[in-house]
Structure 1
Amino acid sequence: MKLIRFILAMALLVAGPALAEPAPDELVKKTAEEVLAIVRADQELRAGSPKKVLALVEEKVLPHFDFARMTRLAMGRHWREATPEQQQQIVREFRELLVRTYTAAFTSYRNQTVAYKPFKMEPAANDVTVRTEIVNPDGRPPIPVDYSMYKTSNGWKVYDVTIENVSLVATYRGTFTEEIRRGGIDGLIKSLREKNQSLAQQEQKKG
């Protein structure tokens, strides 16, 4: 369930690049409200059309996430053990896994809204946390979602998402460590590739 909630959290952070670089909290709020309006108005997106969701993710989500940094953090010390070629493969497969998992789980959206926590940052800050909550329309407790973001030459990028105090990066670090323990770096790459192939097959069945 936590991964599905991460998927929803990603869905609330999609938008095209702005002309002026917004503050991180403004970026989260502006894009969340924009994408919620898009999703509510699009029956195919709400139904989880694989092709349409995948196109949306590729165009809108990826520019706001630094998947290379997420992968390095998830790998931990094992990152330095991988060759440059292996590193590229892992980043590519991990990025694809998150995107395909997102696509498969998009039907979890059920008219949730977003509440934004007070945000303050130092003028020179280059690493911040933007805190939000996903509010369920059925009265269930809100789900805390924190975006870890850092400043780049291309604006603020998300490098981790923490949902109900569980870090996405930390979760995958445990998974990656276990895969590497069992099969080495190549074993991790193989495992990621197989998961992606399985998700791709599921998408094809859904059409």
Structure 2
Amino acid sequence: MKQLTVWISVILLAFAFGNAKAEEIDTSNPFKMLEQIAERMTVRITEERSTIEENPGFLRQIMVDELLPYSDYQYAARLVLGRNWDRLNESQQEEFVTVFREYLVTTYARVFTQYDETRHKISFGRAGSYENERRVTVRAQLVEKGGRPPIRLDFQLQRRSPDAPWMAFDLVAEGVSMLNAQRSEIEASLRQNGIDGTIELLRERANKEINLDEDIDVSDFTND
């Protein structure tokens, strides 16, 4: 499988990093929102590079500060559980969402250890109509220096009401949905370990050490 160095780091590039607080990003326009965050991310990475190298765990705080305001992780948590969501009691649902959030923070922090702002660049496609839509796809390409072919990216965003902010809930890279991949893994764990075992599995992964020298592959996030 392709290494995350090539494409999955784009999640961070497009969703996460910027100097501005969430309210300074135009969340009323999904196309403009992603472009704004991608542009600001370059400055953030440059400014924080020395801190990250000294303390890789600082990446978790960056995820919390800069990624989560634009990520509908509550909705994503329900989607990965599918029909199993309704089988959980309220306490289990709340615990799963909390642990899933922590798992995503660590996952994206680990991905970011592979990101190199000097080699990776994202190019967005033309903005489409969104005024009367509840869901949109923002298309882009990830270009990496060195002659590798561009990677096709489809960012999935939604808003819960016409006046609500746009939020990202999935990334489809070269036709592969991250959300679907996570859902398959969660379903397998539920069959084998039940909800308590699945929550504990996610908690263990959420507590995984952040290592800048880690050579990450897609399988690392399904076979830890």
TM bin, normalised by shorter chain, reads 0.7 to 0.9
Q: Is this contact kept in 1: 2:4–2:114, CA < 8 A?
A: no
Q: Is this contact kept in 2: 1:40–1:46, CA < 8 A?
A: no
1:165 counterpart residue number: 175
2:67 counterpart residue number: 61
Greater mean deviation of Cα atoms: 97-106 or 49-58: 49-58
In the alignment, is residue 128 of structure 1 matched against residue 128 of structure 2?
no
Amino acid at match of 1:55: Q
Greater mean deviation of Cα atoms: 146-155 or 110-119: 146-155
Cα offset, 1:21, TM superposition: 4.1
2:149 counterpart residue number: 141
Secondary structure of the equivalent of 1:18? Answer: helix
Cα offset, 1:31, TM superposition: 0.7
Task: Name whichever structure is richer in helix by fraction.
Answer: 1
Cα offset, 1:8, TM superposition: 3.4
1:107 counterpart residue number: 113
Q: Could you list the runs of 5+ residues in structure 2 that have no partner in the other structure?
A: 214-224
Cα offset, 1:66, TM superposition: 0.8
Secondary structure of the equivalent of 1:186? Answer: helix
Cα offset, 1:37, TM superposition: 2.5
Q: Could you list the per-position Cα deviations for residues 31-89 of structure 1 after superposition, in whole angstroms to 9, with x for gaps in the alignment?
A: 10110222134323664842332221111110000111001111111111111111111
Q: Is this contact kept in 2: 1:48–1:107, CA < 8 A?
A: no
Q: Using the alignment, how far apart are the partners of 1:194 and 1:157 within structure 2?
A: 27
Selected match of 1:97 from 85, 97, 103: 103
| TM-score for the superposition, normalised by structure 2 | 0.81
In the alignment, is residue 18 of structure 1 matched against residue 3 of structure 2?
no
Q: Using the alignment, how far apart are the partners of 2:51 and 2:176 within structure 1?
A: 27
Greater mean deviation of Cα atoms: 156-165 or 38-47: 38-47
| TM-score for the superposition, normalised by structure 1 | 0.87
Q: Using the alignment, how far apart are the partners of 1:119 and 1:205 within structure 2?
A: 35
Cα offset, 1:162, TM superposition: 1.1
Secondary structure of the equivalent of 1:131? Answer: strand
Q: Using the alignment, how far apart are the partners of 2:84 and 2:41 within structure 1?
A: 36
1:183 counterpart residue number: 193
Q: Using the alignment, how far apart are the partners of 1:204 and 1:117 within structure 2?
A: 33
Greater mean deviation of Cα atoms: 105-114 or 49-58: 49-58
**Residues 167 and 204 from structure 1, CA distance in 2 versus in 1: closer, same or farther, beyond 3 angstroms?**
closer
2:217 counterpart residue number: none
**Residues 205 and 168 from structure 1, CA distance in 2 versus in 1: closer, same or farther, beyond 3 angstroms?**
closer
Amino acid at match of 1:159: F
Q: Using the alignment, how far apart are the partners of 1:48 and 1:30 within structure 2?
A: 28
In the alignment, is residue 85 of structure 1 matched against residue 79 of structure 2?
no
Q: Could you list the runs of 5+ residues in structure 1 that have no partner in the other structure?
A: none
Identity of aligned residues (%): 26
Secondary structure of the equivalent of 1:132? Answer: strand
Secondary structure of the equivalent of 1:123? Answer: coil
